[in-house]
Amino acid sequence: MSVTEHLQAPAGTTPGEVTLPGAFAAVAERATSDPEGFWLDAAQAIDWDVYPTSALDDSAAPLYRWFPDARLNTSYNALDRHVLAGRGETTALIYDSPVVAKSKRYSYSQLLQKVELCAGMLAEAGVVAGDRVVIYLPMIPQAVVAMLACARLGAVHSVVFGGFAAKELAARLDDAGAKVIITASGGIEPSRVVEYLPTIVEALALSSHTVTTVVVKDRPEVAGSAAEYSSPGTEWLDWHERMLAAEPHAPVSVAATDPLYILYTSGTTGSPKGVVRDNGGHAVAMTWSMKNIYGVHAGEVMWTASDVGWVVGHSYIVYGPLLAGATTVLYEGKPVGTPDAGAFWRVVSDYRVKTLFTSPTALRSIRKADPHAHLAKKYDLTCLDALFLAGERLDPDTWTWATALLEKPVIDHWWQTETGWAIAASPYGIERLPLRAGSPSFPSPGYNVEIVDDAGRRMNAMQEGHIVIRLPLPPGTLSTLWRGDQRYIDGYLSAFPGFYLTGDSGFFDRDGYLFVMGRTDDIINVAGHRLSTGSMEQVLAQHPSVAECAVIGLHDAIKGQKPAGYVVLKSGADIEERVLALELVAMVRNQIGAVAAFKEVTVVASLPKTRSGKILRKTMRQIINGEEYVVPPTIDNVEAIAVIVATLATN
């Protein structure tokens, strides 16, 4: 159901007792009633090699393609066109790294020169349009350069977060069929350095696919260089040397429907899912959202305090701000500890940030360390126009604290790796609408959101159900999964034909505000990182003393969720629970990575199951989180519930 329909629906059936002022309602109505015209108009903000004459190709529904007859280059739109328009000296990128005590500004002309050379370096390594390049870099300027260089060649980049272990990296190398890896000697944390190159070597050994080239950015703070490593069939190159020798490369024209990047997200089966983003729809959606959702225009500063390894970093550290001609901030640091909980406010003040976008987890960490915001008072924050939060559910307490601190709009908005931009938000660039704690406000124009029950029936206002989006999804969302059209259909489009299943539950209130209550599947959100409990369970099950197990996401005041393992021991297993816990935690850290934040293990006598043997994880979550629960009548062993409850009581 569209926003306008919700606002105009009869009271008592669907939300509709309040009619919003005209600007946003008119935009939302146009996007719903005339999506073809709406998105063709939005496409005028992009420079095309071949301008689109139609917006949507639905010939292969439920798989859709946007701007099927158009051609463009995303890198050209992010860089060249701004330089050609006379804005080459405008700052494009600000790099700020408290961990190495460095900061640097890059103009659009300077960033373009580096991207041209990096594209030339990749071309010399044999990369052509359609090839895949895995980027395994920390938050340094080379990450932005590498992404844009891939886009310049029409190559498909896949950025992998530097905290992932070798096994996870190998799985992504295999699935993508990567030709090149771009990496660095390591990343730097407040209390330690993380060497990347041993992980790369191990991943190459684990991978069944041969990567032809590894390019290494040597960081003086971290040991290791390309010259020190070798792998069968793989050439190791030094970033600096090859950039000096490279020739600038012109942008390559690609079809709007060609893939720009693959971004892997955890699947419930434990195998990664490669979300595919196209070039044309992505460029249009990013440009539209920068102006209309965030209210950011050319020359203004936007700081997205995230990581380029996540979708937020792709959309609003790299592509969105640069497509809009704005200035983006790349921050290599933490919300606290680099050096203190005033770090974010220092960056806002130093660079006159207009729009800050971060996660509720980051804000909760700052609040925990500085509850009365004494450190914030040291800085001039008058430049800040609005704070946007996304990544996990924003609790009302944190929203209220931030609103009181900043005395500026604190805008919760909701989206997913799959969608690439906000499913729901208050459209700050269109109209300053009232905000409500706990709600990301209204569906964004182009997203026709409905709430349905298990049978697909539309729910009334205030009734919680599955959040679904009527097809087609708007531009900028996933076009499919990498090499997995049927997996995409089976996983997202089959449960409710004609709709995309978000995997989240929620409801609309009587005024049309959307409330997102949590996941309906077994993906948990740890500090904004979506992680598969299934992959963690696979690790736990490898232990010789573990008969069966379940990993559940518990509520956490800082991280949003944290994983906890519940294991049943094999008969006759002789191991102390403390020792078992230490071993299981080490296994998860080794095979998945520290990003999983897996630290809690409880031994139980049995796990609740259905008659078919499926573990009732939802029921366990409800019990563990102290929520009301109903024991399904199909439970084969009701006593298992009592065992879980008793175990929790004693712990």
pLDDT-above-70 percentage for the chain? 90
- Region of residue 98 (left: phi > 0; alpha: psi -120 to 50; beta: else): alpha
Q: Provide the pLDDT for residue 7.
A: 37
Rounded-to-integer distance, Cα 524 and Cα 139, Å: 24
Which residues pair with residue 159 across a beta bridge? 135
Tokens of 295: 């209210």
HSE-up of residue 43 (Cα within 13 Å, Cβ side): 29
Q: Provide the pLDDT for residue 114.
A: 98
Instruction: Give the mean pLDDT of 258-262.
Output: 98
Tokens of 481: 């999964």
Rounded-to-integer distance, Cα 319 and Cα 298, Å: 13
Q: Provide the pLDDT for residue 276.
A: 98
Residue bearing tokens 């599955």:
466
Rounded-to-integer distance, Cα 72 and Cα 132, Å: 19
Cα 627 from chain centroid (whole Å): 28
Rounded-to-integer distance, Cα 474 and Cα 477, Å: 6
Rounded-to-integer distance, Cα 322 and Cα 141, Å: 14
Tokens of 188: 């730097």
Rounded-to-integer distance, Cα 644 and Cα 605, Å: 8
Number of neighbouring beta carbons within 10 Å of residue 571: 6
Q: Map residue 649 onto helix, strand or coil.
A: helix
Q: Provide the pLDDT for residue 568.
A: 85
Q: Provide the pLDDT for residue 469.
A: 98
Q: What is the largest CA-CA distance in the chain?
A: 75
Instruction: Give the mean pLDDT of 28-44.
Output: 97
**Chain-wide mean pLDDT for the chain?**
89
Q: Provide the pLDDT for residue 8.
A: 37
Rounded-to-integer distance, Cα 266 and Cα 268, Å: 7
Q: Provide the pLDDT for residue 538.
A: 75
Which residues pair with residue 442 across a beta bridge? 425
- Is the peptide bond preceding residue 339 cis, with omega within 30 degrees of 0? yes
Q: What is the DSSP string of 163-195?
A: TS-HHHHHHHHHHHT-SEEEEESEEE-SS-EEE
Q: Which residue has the higher pLDDT, 521 or 295?
A: 295
DSSP state of 231: B
Instruction: State pLDDT tens for residues 509-525.
Output: 999 999 988 777 666 77
Q: How far apart are the first and last CA of the chain?
A: 45
- Over 90: is that where the pLDDT of 376 sits? yes
Query: Can you give the pTM of this predicted structure?
Result: 0.85
Cα–Cα nearest to 79, from 47, 56, 103? 47
- Over 70: is that where the pLDDT of 242 sits? yes
Instruction: State pLDDT tens for residues 148-177.
Output: 999 999 999 999 988 788 998 999 999 999
Instruction: State pLDDT tens for residues 556-596.
Output: 888 888 888 999 888 788 899 999 999 999 999 888 888 88
Instruction: Give the mean pLDDT of 91-115.
Output: 98
Number of neighbouring beta carbons within 10 Å of residue 567: 25
CB 412 within 8 A of CB 440: yes
Burial (CB count within 10 angstroms: exposed 0-12, middle 13-18, buried 19+), residue 416: buried
Q: List the domains of the chain with CATH numbers.
A: 3-33+449-519 (2.30.38.10), 523-650 (3.30.300.30)
Rounded-to-integer distance, Cα 428 and Cα 270, Å: 38
Instruction: State pLDDT tens for residues 306-359.
Output: 999 999 999 999 999 999 999 999 999 999 999 999 999 999 999 999 999 999
Cα–Cα nearest to 78, from 300, 244, 279? 279
**Per-position b or e across 218-234, b if 16+ CB within 10 A of its CB:** bbeebebbbeebebeeb
Q: Provide the pLDDT for residue 533.
A: 76
Q: What ranges make up the beta strands (E) of 286-354?
A: 301-304, 327-331
Instruction: Give the mean pLDDT of 475-500.
Output: 97
Rounded-to-integer distance, Cα 123 and Cα 150, Å: 10
List the alpha helices (DSSP H) in 11-70. 22-33, 35-42
Instruction: State pLDDT tens for residues 105-139.
Output: 999 999 999 999 999 999 999 999 999 999 999 99
Q: How confident is the model at residue 631 (pLDDT cuts 50, 70, 90)?
A: low
DSSP state of 197: H
Q: Map residue 479 onto helix, strand or coil.
A: coil
